[in-house]
Structure 1
Amino acid sequence: MSRGAKNVFVASRLPKRAGVSGWVATLPPRRPRPALSEAILADVAIIGGGFAGLSAAHRLSQLDPTLRVALFEAGIVGEGPAGANSGFIIDLPHEVSSDDFSGESEGKFRDSVLLQRSAIALASQLASENGWGEALFDPCGRYSIAMSEEGDRHLEAYSQQLSKMGEAHRLLKGKEIEAVTGSKAFTSGLFSPGTVIIQPAAYVRSAAECLKAPVRLYERTPVLSFERSGDGWLLKTPHGSVQAAKIILANNGHAESFGFFRRRLLHVFTYASMTEEFDPARLGGDRKWAATPALPMGTTVRRINTGGGDRILIRSRYSYNPGIEITDAAIRSAGGLHDRKFAHRFPALAGVGMQYRWGGAMALTHNHVPAFGEIERGVFAACGCNGLGASNSTAAGMAAAERVLGHQSELVGVYSRLAAPVLLPPQPLTTIGAKIHLAWREWRAGTE
Structure 2
Amino acid sequence: MIHLPNDDTSCGWYDALPDTAVNPPLAGEESADYVVLGAGFAGLAMARRLAELSPYSRILLIDAQRIGQGASGRNSGFVIDLPHKFALEHPDPAHKQKLLSLNRLAIKQLSKLVSKYNIHCQWSAVGKFQGAVGPRGEAYLDHFEHLMKDLGEPYLHVGAEKLSKVLGTRYYSRAIFTPGGYLMQPAALVRGLAQSLPDNVEILENSPIRGISKENGYWRLQGDNGVVKTPDLLLGTSIFTREFGYLKNRLLPVMTFASWTRPLSDEEMQRYGGQLNWGLTPADHAGTTLRMTADRRILVRNSYKHVPKYGASVTDAMRKRIREDHRQVFLARYPALADVPFTHTWGGVYAISRNFTNFFGQLDDRVYASACDNGVGAAWGTISGTLLADFVMGESSPALKDIRQVTGMPSLNPPEPFLGMGVKSRIHLAKWQSRSEL
TM-score, normalised to structure 1, is: 0.92
1:4 maps to none
Say if 1:96 and 1:109, in contact at 8 Å, map to a contact too. no
2:152 maps to 166
Say if 1:18 and 1:327, in contact at 8 Å, map to a contact too. no
Amino acid at match of 1:67: S
Residue in structure 2 matching 1:342, options 327, 330, 355: 330
Higher mean displacement: 411-420 or 323-332:
411-420
CA deviation string 1:285-321 (max 9, x = no partner) = 2122111111112111101232xxx211000000111
Q: 1:230 to 1:415 in 2, by over 3 A?
A: farther
Structure 2 distance, partners of 1:161, 1:240, is 51
Amino acid at match of 2:136: E
2:212 maps to 226
Residue in structure 2 matching 1:73, options 41, 44, 63: 63
Amino acid at match of 2:220: L
User: Is residue 44 of structure 2 the alignment partner of residue 57 of structure 1?
Assistant: no
Residue in structure 2 matching 1:238, options 208, 217, 224: 224
Say if 1:367 and 1:421, in contact at 8 Å, map to a contact too. yes
Residue in structure 2 matching 1:411, options 384, 399, 423: 399
Q: Which runs of 4+ in 1 moved over 3 A?
A: 94-98
Q: 1:349 to 1:36 in 2, by over 3 A?
A: same
Residue in structure 1 matching 2:117, options 116, 119, 130: 130
The alignment of Structure 1 onto Structure 2 pairs a total of residues equal to: 431
Say if 1:24 and 1:201, in contact at 8 Å, map to a contact too. yes
User: Is residue 97 of structure 2 the alignment partner of residue 110 of structure 1?
Assistant: yes
User: Is residue 159 of structure 2 the alignment partner of residue 181 of structure 1?
Assistant: no
1:443 maps to 432
Structure 2 distance, partners of 1:105, 1:343, is 42
Say if 1:73 and 1:221, in contact at 8 Å, map to a contact too. yes
CA deviation string 1:28-50 (max 9, x = no partner) = 11222111223232221011111
2:291 maps to 302
Secondary structure of residue in 1 paired with 2:202? strand
Amino acid at match of 1:433: G
Q: 1:331 to 1:143 in 2, by over 3 A?
A: same
1:425 maps to 414
Residue in structure 1 matching 2:350, options 347, 362, 372: 362
Residue in structure 1 matching 2:319, options 331, 339, 357: 331
Structure 2 distance, partners of 1:151, 1:105, is 25
Structure 2 distance, partners of 1:327, 1:414, is 42
Say if 2:85 and 2:285, in contact at 8 Å, map to a contact too. no
The Cα of 1:239 is off from its aligned counterpart by: 2.4
Higher mean displacement: 111-120 or 408-417:
408-417
Residue in structure 2 matching 1:215, options 195, 201, 206: 201
Amino acid at match of 1:80: G
TM-score, normalised to structure 2, is: 0.94
**RMSD (Å) for aligned C-alpha atoms:** 1.8
The Cα of 1:96 is off from its aligned counterpart by: 6.8
Secondary structure of residue in 1 paired with 2:356? coil
Gaps of 5+ in 2: none
User: Is residue 15 of structure 2 the alignment partner of residue 28 of structure 1?
Assistant: no
Secondary structure of residue in 2 paired with 1:424? coil
1:322 maps to 308
User: Is residue 379 of structure 2 the alignment partner of residue 391 of structure 1?
Assistant: yes
The Cα of 1:144 is off from its aligned counterpart by: 1.0
Residue in structure 2 matching 1:373, options 342, 361, 367: 361
Amino acid at match of 1:271: F
1:311 maps to 297
Say if 1:266 and 1:365, in contact at 8 Å, map to a contact too. yes
Higher mean displacement: 84-93 or 436-445:
436-445
Q: 1:145 to 1:415 in 2, by over 3 A?
A: same
Higher mean displacement: 160-169 or 436-445:
160-169
Say if 2:30 and 2:229, in contact at 8 Å, map to a contact too. yes
The Cα of 1:283 is off from its aligned counterpart by: 0.6
Say if 1:363 and 1:386, in contact at 8 Å, map to a contact too. yes
Q: 1:447 to 1:347 in 2, by over 3 A?
A: same
Secondary structure of residue in 1 paired with 2:21? coil
Secondary structure of residue in 2 paired with 1:332? helix
1:286 maps to 275
Higher mean displacement: 184-193 or 385-394:
385-394
Say if 2:360 and 2:408, in contact at 8 Å, map to a contact too. no
Gaps of 5+ in 1: 1-10
Say if 2:236 and 2:371, in contact at 8 Å, map to a contact too. yes
Structure 2 distance, partners of 1:107, 1:96, is 15
Structure 1 distance, partners of 2:44, 2:316, is 29
The Cα of 1:97 is off from its aligned counterpart by: 7.8
Using the aligned pairs only, state the percent identity: 32
Amino acid at match of 1:111: K
Higher mean displacement: 150-159 or 425-434:
150-159
Say if 2:87 and 2:96, in contact at 8 Å, map to a contact too. no
Secondary structure of residue in 2 paired with 1:224? strand
2:38 maps to 48
Say if 1:232 and 1:378, in contact at 8 Å, map to a contact too. no
Secondary structure of residue in 2 paired with 1:447? helix
